[in-house]
């Protein structure tokens, strides 16, 4: 395939960025999207030009680092996949593909397609932990009966990889889906009840401090989430927050 690329280039966090046009030939449908970018970078390096910076790590859809807005959608046109799982067979010969970093005030651009998502880390640090001592006591995990439905829902919430697609998809750049997933994975289990009140209050407070927008229930976050994290988690977090606020 021959494809035309429009890619956001930005020297650093303080520089003004712009879209730059590139053309690639000989692209095969079985290549992953990130492999295509690798080929482009090889050509740029050969020409003595600076390669395009983009985040990647595992390339298996679990690390959550590939923050690419592809043709206006986080991670590209396909559902339930990350950018590294997207393949070039999703595009046609002669297509023009626009690639930008995730856009959100709380995700400032570091360089080119790389954004700073440490805001997510600070939200988790604010309350995403339990005080139960699990070191050397793994047998305790099987001593507390837990309803299967609750256990399943907790695992589904814990599947969130923190990629930020929910923020990028939201018109308000809200982090409610991410934060609610981190709250829910503990709220559904007895081990998480000890810090339940402080957890939801602190994590929501930190989310607001980071500058994320409010949720208006448009559902774009769930649609674009590569792991299919449900909006039900936002409803659960709202209930947890109301209960914690009344206790406080």
Query: Rounded to the nearest 5°, which phi and psi values hold at 174?
Result: -85, 145
Q: For residue 39, what are its two tokens?
A: 């080929």
- How many angstroms separate the CA atoms of 18 and 11, rounded? 10
Secondary structure (3-state) at 165: helix
Domains of the chain: 3-111 (3.10.20.30), 117-132+145-247 (1.10.1060.10)
Higher pLDDT, 132 or 43: 43
Would you place residue 89 in the very low, low, confident or very high pLDDT band (cuts 50, 70, 90)? very high
Question: E strands of the chain, at which residues?
Answer: 3-9, 18-24, 68-70, 73-74, 96-101, 109-111, 114-115
Q: What is the average pLDDT score of the chain? A: 95
Q: Is-contact 128 182, C-beta < 8 A? A: yes
User: Which pLDDT value is given to residue 138?
Assistant: 64
Q: For residue 79, what are its two tokens?
A: 């559902």
User: Which pLDDT value is given to residue 134?
Assistant: 65
The answer on pLDDT for 104 being more than 80 is yes
User: Which pLDDT value is given to residue 143?
Assistant: 77
Q: Is-contact 101 109, C-beta < 8 A? A: yes
Residues 143-164: tens digit of each pLDDT: 788 999 999 999 999 999 999 9
User: Which pLDDT value is given to residue 142?
Assistant: 67
The answer on pLDDT for 76 being more than 90 is yes
pTM confidence score: 0.94
Residues 3-39: tens digit of each pLDDT: 999 999 999 999 999 999 999 999 999 999 999 999 9
Would you place residue 141 in the very low, low, confident or very high pLDDT band (cuts 50, 70, 90)? low
The answer on pLDDT for 40 being more than 90 is yes
Share of the chain above pLDDT 90, in %: 90
Q: Which residue's structure tokens are 């927050």?
A: 241
Would you place residue 183 in the very low, low, confident or very high pLDDT band (cuts 50, 70, 90)? very high
Q: Is-contact 24 40, C-beta < 8 A? A: yes
| Burial bucket for residue 161 (CB in 10 Å: 0-12, 13-18, 19+) | buried
- 110-to-9, 55, 68, 113 alpha-carbon distances in Å: 11, 11, 13, 8
DSSP character string of 33-75: HHHHHHHHHHHHHHTTPPPPP---S-SSS-S----EEETTEET
The answer on pLDDT for 139 being more than 70 is no
Closest CA to 220 of 116, 104, 58, 62: 104
The answer on pLDDT for 184 being more than 70 is yes
């Amino acid at each position: 395939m021959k494809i035309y690329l429009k890619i956001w280039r930005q020297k650093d966090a303080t520089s003004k960025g712009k879209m730059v046009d590139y053309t690639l030939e000989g692209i095969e449908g079985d290549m992953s999207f990130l492999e295509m970018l690798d080929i482009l970078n090889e050509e740029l390096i050969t020409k003595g030009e600076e390669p395009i910076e983009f985040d990647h790590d595992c390339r298996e859809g679990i690390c959550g680092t590939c923050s690419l807005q592809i043709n206006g959608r986080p991670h590209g046109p396909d559902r339930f996949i990350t950018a590294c799982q997207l393949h070039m067979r999703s595009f046609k010969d002669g297509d023009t593909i626009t690639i930008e970093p995730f856009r959100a005030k709380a995700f400032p651009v570091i360089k080119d397609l790389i954004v700073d998502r440490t805001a997510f880390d600070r939200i988790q640090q604010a309350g995403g932990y339990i005080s139960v001592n699990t070191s050397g006591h793994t047998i305790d995990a099987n001593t507390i009966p837990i309803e299967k439905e609750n256990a399943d829902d907790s695992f589904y919430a814990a599947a969130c990889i923190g990629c930020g697609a929910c923020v990028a998809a939201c018109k308000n750049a809200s982090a409610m889906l991410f934060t609610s997933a981190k709250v829910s994975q503990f709220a559904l289990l007895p081990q998480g009840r000890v810090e339940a009140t402080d957890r939801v209050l602190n994590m929501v407070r930190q989310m607001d401090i980071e500058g994320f927008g409010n949720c208006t229930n448009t559902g774009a976050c769930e649609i674009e989430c590569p792991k299919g994290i449900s909006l039900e988690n936002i409803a659960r977090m709202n209930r947890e927050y109301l209960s914690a606020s009344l206790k406080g």
